[in-house]
């Protein structure tokens, strides 16, 4: 199993697609170190296992998922844009009409509030950079809120392309 397939399997476990055995759960620290090593060999970067894995999810996981599933990804990247101020993966088989509202209230609004609070504590240059990120998040929030109010259902029989298109402006390009 290559690194990308292993990460995809691990994400599947987290999203409830697969059930890891108890032995696999006990071996998590060792698994993280092995995964870090594999990702370091296949991708640029460095640091702690957590940093390497976080960087992989932020920069490469979705691209690898799109490639693995031939432009029909099962994990959808909801992203605020180039600044990557907000990113969330949604397993398409777990999406329901409440997903966008939960994403907005439980994650995006909380992130916006934390960034607003931090901007006041930062110097002018750092504050200006965070200000751009907050602006990106606010623009994204407006689109997310409108789509959340639509209570969008997906029909798995329609396939990825049709369902993914329902979230245009909220998701990464495939």
CA-to-CA separations, 121 to 116, 117, 132, 149, 172, in angstroms, rounded? 9, 7, 16, 34, 32
> What local confidence, expressed as pLDDT, does residue 74 receive?
94
Q: What is the pLDDT of residues 103-151, one digit of tens each?
A: 999 999 999 888 878 777 776 666 666 678 888 999 999 999 999 999 9
H-helix segments, the chain = 3-14, 22-26, 28-42, 49-59, 61-68, 99-103, 109-121, 124-148, 159-165
Q: What is the pLDDT of residues 39-62, one digit of tens each?
A: 766 665 677 777 888 888 888 899
Q: What is the pLDDT of residues 73-107, one digit of tens each?
A: 999 999 999 888 999 999 999 999 999 999 999 99
Specify the pTM: 0.79
Q: Residue 162: which pLDDT band, with cuts at 50, 70 and 90? A: very high
Give the separation between CA 21 and CA 48, rounded to whole angstroms: 26
């Amino acid at each position: 199993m290559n690194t990308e397939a292993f990460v995809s399997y691990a994400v599947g476990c987290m999203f409830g697609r697969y059930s890891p055995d108890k032995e696999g759960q006990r071996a998590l620290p060792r698994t993280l170190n092995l995964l870090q090593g594999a990702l370091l060999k296949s991708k640029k970067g460095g640091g702690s296992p957590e940093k390497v894995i976080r960087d992989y999810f932020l920069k490469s996981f979705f691209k690898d998922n799109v490639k693995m599933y031939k432009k029909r990804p099962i994990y959808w990247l909801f992203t605020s844009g180039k600044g990557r101020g907000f990113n969330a993966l949604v397993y398409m088989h777990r999406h329901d009409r409440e997903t966008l509202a939960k994403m907005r209230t439980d994650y995006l609004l909380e992130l916006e509030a934390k960034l607003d609070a931090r901007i006041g504590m930062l110097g002018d240059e750092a504050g200006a950079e965070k200000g751009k990120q907050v602006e990106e998040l606010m623009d994204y929030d407006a689109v997310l809120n409108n789509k959340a109010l639509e209570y969008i259902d997906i029909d798995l029989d329609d396939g990825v392309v049709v369902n993914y298109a329902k979230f245009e402006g909220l998701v990464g390009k495939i």
